[in-house]
Amino acid sequence: MPIVTRLLLFVAFLAAGPLTVHLAAAPTLEKATFAGGCFWCMEEAFEKVEGVVTVTSGYMGGQKANPTYKEVSAGGTGHAEAVEVLFDPAKTSYDKLLVEFWHNVDPTTPDQQFCDAGNQYRSAIFYQNDTQKKQAEDSKHVVERTKKFREPIVTEIVMASTFYPAEDYHQDFYKKNPLRYKVYKYNCGRVQRLEEVWGKKG
């Protein structure tokens, strides 16, 4: 290509102005934290919800920093086994996550979920802000009106504190160890009790 032609093309390029690259904006994610007994089971439940991006098993609500599974499961730290849910509010809502939460716990058992006993297995909604707090309280009132439990609902609604991710081998346990997980989930009575309380899922 003659040098004059190259110069003319370069001048035309400069005259066209700066090159603008349009990048898709990353979704703004929101956070929700729940405790419903064994975090393996809660992780499975929330990962199936459309719009949920990640679910992490961990510990919340205790006094000790960086607790281990051994410490939490012994019941000495005050933490509950919990899951931290990151979700896209354009695809799902906190209200929908609350519905999923209630349908995966027995809200009438204090310091226990199914075969797992101790305050580390309590059910709780850890709200991130005042909006989530109101939504959580409203959802509890709906459950109280629509489900006539013999016992009172004892699920806690408390402000979120520091979330400590559990050890790597607990993350996605239901995927990594499907047989062991299914045996545990059934033998613990979770499947049977949830069907008794909420009915079979469609």
Mind listing the pLDDT tens digit for each residue in 27-81?
799 999 999 999 999 999 999 999 999 999 999 999 999 999 999 999 989 999 9
For residue 8, being part of any structural domain is answered with no
Confidence label for 23 from pLDDT (cuts 50, 70 and 90): low
Question: Can you tell me which residue has the tokens 């047989």?
Answer: 179
For residue 64, being part of any structural domain is answered with yes
For residue 97, being part of any structural domain is answered with yes
Which of the residue ranges 2-16, 39-53, 122-136 would you say has the lowest mean pLDDT? 2-16
Q: What is the CATH number of the domain that holds 166?
A: 3.30.1060.10
**123: nearest Cα among 9, 199, 190, 34:** 34
For residue 18, being part of any structural domain is answered with no
* Structural domains of the chain, count: 1
Cβ-based neighbour number of residue 133 at 10 Å: 16
* 127 pLDDT higher than 90: yes
Catalytic residue ranges: 38
* 116 pLDDT higher than 60: yes
For residue 143, being part of any structural domain is answered with yes
For residue 17, being part of any structural domain is answered with no
On average, the pLDDT of the chain sits at 91
For residue 105, being part of any structural domain is answered with yes
CA dihedral 45, 51, 52, 54 (to 10 degrees): 140
Maximum Cα–Cα distance across the chain: 90
For residue 6, being part of any structural domain is answered with no
Burial state string for 169-184 with b = 16 or more CB within 10 A and e = fewer than 16? ebbbbbeeeeeebeeb
pLDDT of residue 27: 76
pTM: 0.86
Domain of residue 187 covers 24-198
Please provide residue 120's backbone torsions phi and psi, each rounded to the nearest 5 degrees: -70, -10
